[in-house]
Structure 1
Amino acid sequence: MSGVCVIGAGMHPWGKWGRPFTDYGTAAARAALADAGAEASEVDFVSGAATVRGGYPGFVAGAAYARALGWRGQQVASSYAACASGAQAIAAARARLLAGLSDMALVVGAESAPKGFFAPLGGDRPDDPDWLRFRLLGAANPLYFALAARRRMEVHGARPEDFAAVKAKNAAHGAANPMARYRKRTTAGEVLASPAVADPLHLLDVCATSDGGAALVLVREEDARRRGADPVRLAGLSAAVPDYPVAEPEMPYLAGDPPRAGTGDAEGRAPRFREANARAAYEEAGAGPEDLDLAEVYDLSTAMELDWYEEIGLCPRGGAEGLLRDGATRVGGRVPVNPSGGLASFGEAVPAQGIAQVCEITAQLRGRAEPGRRVEGARVGIAVTQGLFGHGSAAVLTR
């Protein structure tokens, strides 16, 4: 079966620019088309990653981007899955291309993020676990991240110094990335000296919210060859909802608490939806963790990046700290993680970030990333995200 390739990737720099999200999306789209050597008239499908903070245009992002570009007549779709929105927009475009319903798809995501905490939309939402933890527990995201970080310390022996080292690594990568919002090297000592937000996490352990945009041009493999493009193959993609419940402990259950029927595996572990997405993407790509040259993971907090090392199979459970301390996950190490600089250097632009990760993997596999963060000779990469209410995604790209 024919596959789908990325032939163009473009971004708008991340920052706090204060303009409509469509400004960033259209800039990224034009950059992606230029990178692909494609004309606007060739695009017959626009797949938009939606942003609920963009008002009505944000909910109908596909049409909003097409209109902002001055286009008419293209088929459009909009995908919302919070932080996994970009991956689901890519999935929608890929499905349409593989079905033969379109020949060239443009995937776009962008955000104009407000300052401070994101206000809940739509009033009371008692069926939404995130709304419940905000309303009933007062647990906004930094506290949520801190609880997971504290658990990692208790179970695996992580230290605040490890979390700070993740930020220092990603800041060094981001310093060489012209699209990153924060381009200043940061030491682990500076992270530990920054104000405490939610113990054990400090201000520099938690990502910011940002404006930004990213876009991709996708075609079928045979069309990429015909065009003489510089393609990167989208070899595996998963954007699945988890098995439930996802609130059970990830490690073996406590003595006297056997897993309930229908939950966990033979070893008594709860379902791992992030791990499941990575596994599905690996299987489709015919690759595995041992084949990876780099990874882009979703570092909402520095501690969360360590969890991802294990989720995508870079090391066994509890091995992430050793991998980090050995330098394996920095550029020049065995499997660089977040050579873009990650969310530590970009901040969240929610609908754009899954697409931006694929832009980064594409640049690395083409050998186009800037010196100082380039992964030499890269052939296989994975991009993974986690979104609202259990949405997750993983994309494996190959050269």
Structure 2
Amino acid sequence: MSDVAVLGAGMHPWGKWGRSFVEYGRAAARAALADAALGWPDVDSVVGADTVRCGYPGYVAGATFAQALGWQGARVTSVYAACASGAQAVSTARAQILAGLADVVLVVGADAAPKGFFAPAGGERPDDPDWLRFRVLGATNPAYFALYARRRMALHGDTLDDFARVKVKNAAAGALNPLARYRTAVSAEDVATSPVVADPLRLLDICATSDGGAALVLSSMEFARRHGHRDAVRIRAVSTVTPTYPKALLDLPDIATDSAAAVSPPPHTFRAAIARAAYEEAGVGPGDLSLAEVYDLSTALELEWYEDIGLCGAGEGAKLVRDGVTALGGRVPVNTSGGLGSFGEAVPAQAIAQVCELTWQLRGTAGSRQVRDARVGIAANQGLFGHGSAVVAVR
């Protein structure tokens, strides 16, 4: 059995608070421990998801959060995997539990993000496709997402209205989430009249940068049963696979030379490989999903995720959002939390926050955004330099 129990989930609200990431992480950790009905001394291990923007304490996040909570002898681990850092932290915690090294592990991620674009970190990296697009092409994330959006429009006939529908859907869910940064419903007209950032994407099509924190308390199934958590949500799979060559499988178009109208979609993408590995490990498939949390750095990118996690075939993502399939009340709601469009990016906390949302939905405690009879959920994201993740949780 590869399951581990989620005993507690907690977050610090997203926003621009102007305080240390340590404060956000400590608040999220305390909320998760309270949710688990456990004390800090009960924790055997702390796994921190690193932030590279917050100085040395951010590079040793596990120890930083352990110190902030009060040294009590727990082992510490710090991990970095760009936007997948939180899922890597969950994977590390799960491995420690399944190996018998710990009964209870606290997973924490938090960030204090700058305004505007994230500056590339880590120095010169000419073998990194993301560094190359930043430095050689000048393609910041919004520009890159815009190229993907144009590609979808050329290949599949997606429209600006389709992209706006994603934002309207996610904003409606975010308006119901007290932890979200943006809690106001928007209309398609609001999206269409917001400023252009990178054509065809407008301001409301892309996510902001944010401060925030998220934490989980994970345990062995035996510990959960002994302490009265017999019906706990379980993490059944964590996928952190890397891309597969040749280039076609990476879904990284040669954007300086490719003509989108002439290039067929690749047979499967890196994002699809991430999800497929998680499904295989969990013994479930897309047809089993009650909900999904995906990495909506842009509205157009969310449509790609529908296809990558197997909700539909290539080029069919826009039809799902047109038909209301992925909205609250639809067959497979996606981003019931409100997504990054409602939260913004607090990088090391994001994948953990996704699992928090799955946990609350699978428990049936998500309030007015609750998915009826939720039993299986997937959280998925992709980060820089071949990092990506998918987590399958079940009830």
Into which bin does the TM-score normalised by the smaller protein fall?
A: over 0.9
- The alpha carbon displacement at 1:147 in A equals 0.2
Bigger shift: residues 357-366 or 283-292: 283-292
Q: Distance in 2 between matches of 1:246 and 1:173?
A: 36
Quick check: 2:21–2:110 contact (8 Å CA) kept in 1?
yes
Do the aligned partners of residues 245 and 212 (structure 1) sit closer, same or farther apart at CA in structure 2, a change above 3 Å counting?
A: farther
Bigger shift: residues 311-320 or 69-78: 69-78
Equivalent position of 1:63 in the other structure: 63
Counterparts of 1:1-399 in structure 2, within 5 Å, are: 1=1, 3-229=3-229, 230-246=231-247, 250=251, 269=266, 272-371=269-368, 373-399=369-395
Q: Kindly report the root-mean-square deviation, in angstroms, between the aligned alpha carbons of the 2 structures.
A: 1.8
Q: Distance in 2 between matches of 1:251 and 1:7?
A: 39
Q: Distance in 1 between matches of 2:392 and 2:66?
A: 28
Quick check: 1:246–1:270 contact (8 Å CA) kept in 2?
no
Quick check: 1:2–1:222 contact (8 Å CA) kept in 2?
no
Q: Distance in 2 between matches of 1:217 and 1:282?
A: 23
- The alpha carbon displacement at 1:247 in A equals 6.2
Do the aligned partners of residues 211 and 247 (structure 1) sit closer, same or farther apart at CA in structure 2, a change above 3 Å counting?
A: farther
Q: Secondary structure at the match of 1:68?
A: helix
Q: Distance in 2 between matches of 1:280 and 1:305?
A: 20
Q: Percent identity?
A: 68
Q: Distance in 1 between matches of 2:253 and 2:125?
A: 32
| Per-residue CA distance 1:180-234 (angstroms, 9 max, x = gap) | 0000000011101101111110010000000000000000112111111251010
Relative to the length of structure 2, the TM-score reads 0.94
Aligned letter for 1:282?
Y
Aligned letter for 1:201?
L
Q: Secondary structure at the match of 2:136?
A: helix
Q: Distance in 2 between matches of 1:119 and 1:335?
A: 35
Quick check: 1:274–1:386 contact (8 Å CA) kept in 2?
yes
Do the aligned partners of residues 249 and 350 (structure 1) sit closer, same or farther apart at CA in structure 2, a change above 3 Å counting?
A: closer
Equivalent position of 1:264 in the other structure: none
- The alpha carbon displacement at 1:334 in A equals 0.4
Q: Distance in 1 between matches of 2:67 and 2:378?
A: 32
Aligned letter for 2:373?
G
Equivalent position of 2:261 in the other structure: none
Q: Secondary structure at the match of 1:284?
A: helix
Aligned letter for 1:95?
A
- The alpha carbon displacement at 1:121 in A equals 2.8
Quick check: 2:243–2:249 contact (8 Å CA) kept in 1?
no
Quick check: 1:244–1:271 contact (8 Å CA) kept in 2?
no
Q: Secondary structure at the match of 2:184?
A: coil
Bigger shift: residues 230-239 or 301-310: 230-239
Quick check: 1:251–1:269 contact (8 Å CA) kept in 2?
no
Structure 1 gap segments, 5+ residues each: 258-266
Quick check: 2:24–2:110 contact (8 Å CA) kept in 1?
yes
Q: Secondary structure at the match of 2:364?
A: coil
Relative to the length of structure 1, the TM-score reads 0.94
Quick check: 1:48–1:78 contact (8 Å CA) kept in 2?
yes
Do the aligned partners of residues 122 and 370 (structure 1) sit closer, same or farther apart at CA in structure 2, a change above 3 Å counting?
A: same
Quick check: 1:294–1:381 contact (8 Å CA) kept in 2?
yes
- The alpha carbon displacement at 1:71 in A equals 2.1
Bigger shift: residues 120-129 or 21-30: 120-129
Q: Distance in 2 between matches of 1:18 and 1:76?
A: 27
Count of residue pairs brought into register by the alignment? 386
Q: Secondary structure at the match of 2:367?
A: coil
Q: Distance in 2 between matches of 1:65 and 1:348?
A: 20
Equivalent position of 1:260 in the other structure: none
Do the aligned partners of residues 268 and 354 (structure 1) sit closer, same or farther apart at CA in structure 2, a change above 3 Å counting?
A: closer
Q: Secondary structure at the match of 1:390?
A: coil
Quick check: 1:171–1:186 contact (8 Å CA) kept in 2?
yes
Aligned letter for 2:331?
R
- The alpha carbon displacement at 1:63 in A equals 0.5
